[in-house]
A and B are shown apart, each in its own frame.
Chain A
Amino acid sequence: MRSSVIIFPGSNCDRDMDVALKKFGFKNQMVWHNDQSIPKSDLIVLPGGFSYGDYLRCGSIASKSKIIKSVIDFANSGGLVLGICNGFQILTETGLLNGILQQNKFLNFICSNVFVKVKDKENKYFKNLKKNLLELHIAHNEGNYFCSDDELKSLEDNSQIAVTYCGADGTENETTNPNGAIKNIAGIFNKNKNVLGMMPHPERMIDKYLSGEDGSLFFKNILDNFK
């Protein structure tokens, strides 16, 4: 499976993502934001970080960069596009995903492990995943997902909510919501479920000695579903 990771000025999870993808057998290439086109890919990843210093709104400047038109065309033709953290913010700013990531409710930068519940498995990311809860890592200041009531209803009606924050036992409530996100939302799909944006970092959970291995399950699952 071929993948491309887009690097923006200020991206800082691009190389972690490269290491993770290659570890599980993706043929990964790095693509600079100023390039016009993306090499032939089966998956495009927008990595975490602080593209353009988070100026104006997180992800807003990156969403107008040169390479983005190719990413949008790729997504609209059904290609898999994964946005992690700042990548999720960029995807909402391009309009590929609904809503927006606002500043965390309690104004703090959050850096911690969290549990997320996989809400939908009828898609190429989570299909056949053996676990329903994943322990992943979050590190963000703007992860407070927000959308209008109509958009939320549409996300729910079309099963576009991908993952939600929960406790180790799967409880979803205010105490297991780290940033104030509406309905504990940690990640969503577009209507066709080929575009996934999520705040948690699977690329930080790929080594049992350093962190945990639930990220490994995530990447292996994408590969298995591609075969």
Chain B
Amino acid sequence: MKIKVIVTLKNGVLDPQGKAIQQTLNGMNFGNVEDVRQGKYFEIEVKEKDEKKAKSLVDDMCKKLLANLVIEDYKIV
């Protein structure tokens, strides 16, 4: 089963790459872009048929490795 995870920086944590992307977009005449936050996306193939179990496993993976909870939030989608 494939489980998808999105990891993003927490609100309030400086995202210099997002800022650079926003400024570039503004410079390309996308003047209405007010903010960009960059994140990471994972597709994790888990050998597990029960969706609840698979998601709970991935939740553990997020806490232990995929996200650093000092600055990042994760969302299993």
Q: Closest CB of chain A to B21's CB: distance in Å?
A: 11
Interface string of B34-60 (1 = CB under 8 A from A): 000000000000000000000000000
Instruction: State the B residues within 8 Å of A (CB).
Output: 13-14, 16-17, 20, 65-66, 68, 70-71
How far is B16's CA from A107's CA once the two chains are assembled, in angstroms?
Answer: 7
Chain B hits for A107, CB < 8 A = 16-17, 20
Does A41 interact with chain B (Cβ within 8 Å)? no
Residues of B contacting A64 with CB < 8 Å? Answer: 65
The smallest beta-carbon distance between B34 and chain A, in angstroms, is 20
A–B Cβ pairs within 8 angstroms, 22 of them: A60-B65, A60-B68, A93-B68, A99-B70, A100-B70, A100-B71, A102-B13, A103-B16, A103-B17, A104-B16, A105-B14, A105-B16, A106-B16, A107-B16, A107-B20, A144-B14, A146-B13, A146-B70, A146-B71, A148-B70, A180-B14, A180-B16
What's the nearest-Cβ distance from chain B to residue A162, in Å? 19
B68: which A residues are within 8 A, CB to CB? Answer: 57, 60, 93, 100
A144 and B20 CA atoms in complex are apart in Å by: 16
Number of interface residues of A (CB under 8 A): 20
| B17: chain A residues within 8 A (beta carbon) | 103, 107
Partner of A102, one of B14, B20, B65, B66: B14
- How close is B73's CB to chain A, nearest CB, in angstroms? 14
A31 in contact (CB, < 8 A): no
Contact between B20 and A56, CB atoms less than 8 A apart? no
Please, how many angstroms separate the alpha-carbon atoms of A106 and B23 in the complex? Answer: 13
Give Cα A180 to B14, complex, Å.
Answer: 10
A136→B25 CA distance, assembly (Å): 38
B5 to chain A, nearest CB (A): 12
CB distance from A147 to the nearest CB of B (A): 7
Residue of B whose beta carbon sits closest to that of A108: B16
7 further interface pairs, Cβ-Cβ under 8 Å (given A104-B16, A147-B70): A93-B68, A102-B13, A102-B14, A144-B14, A146-B14, A180-B14, A180-B16
A104-B15 Cα distance, complex, nearest whole Å: 10
